[in-house]
Amino acid sequence: MEIRMLIGSIVTLIGAIFIFLGALGIVRMPDLYNRLQTGTKASTLGTILSIAGIGIINPEWAGKAFIIISFVMMTNPVSSHTLARGAHHIGIPLSDKTVIDKLQEAETEENKEDQI
C-alpha cells in the first residue's frame, strides 16, 4: 500500500512538472505554431502521467484511467493539428526565426493553377 502510494505520487509529480514546462513553453515561444508544439507534447505526457499516477494509487480505477489516457492520446494531437491548420489558413504569420514555409508555396502554386 505504502509503496504503491509512493510510486503513484512520484508519477503524478513528474506529470505535473511536464505540464508546468508546457505552460512555460507557451509563454516563452515566439509564435502560435511553436506554442502549439510545446503545448501539445508537454500537456499530453503530463496528463497521461498524472492520470496514470492516480490509477497506480487506486488500482480499481485503472480501467477508467486507461480509457481517459486513450482518449487524450487520440484527441490532443487532432485538436492541435486543427488549430495549426486553421491558423495557417487565415494567414497568422510565422515568427521571424522561421526558415521555410513549404505550405505557403504549395498554396500559391495551387492558386496560380486555378487562375489559369
Partner 1 sequence: MNLKNVLQIFVLSYLTWLALNWSVHTDVLVTGAIISVLIAVLLCSQCSVLQEVRLTPKSFAYAFGFVGVFWIELFKSNFDVARRVLTPSLPINPGIVEVKTRLKSNIGKMLLANAITLTPGTLTVDILGDRMFIHWIDVSSTDINEATHAIVSKFEKYLEVMYG
Which parts of this chain interact with partner 1 (CB under 8 A)? 18, 21-22, 24-25, 28-31, 33-34, 36-38, 40-42, 44-45, 60-64, 66-67, 73-74, 76-78, 80-81, 84-85, 88, 94-95, 97-104, 106
- Compare residues 6 and 20 and give the one whose CB is closer to partner 1: 20
Nearest to 31 by CA among 87, 77, 90, 85: 87
- Compare residues 6 and 28 and give the one whose CB is closer to partner 1: 28
- Compare residues 9 and 31 and give the one whose CB is closer to partner 1: 31
Smallest gap from Cβ 100 to partner 1, in A, equals 4
- Phi and psi, residue 95, nearest 5°: -70, 165
- Phi and psi, residue 24, nearest 5°: -60, -40
Compute and round to an integer the Cα radius of gyration of the chain: 20
- CA 78 to the chain's CA centroid: 9
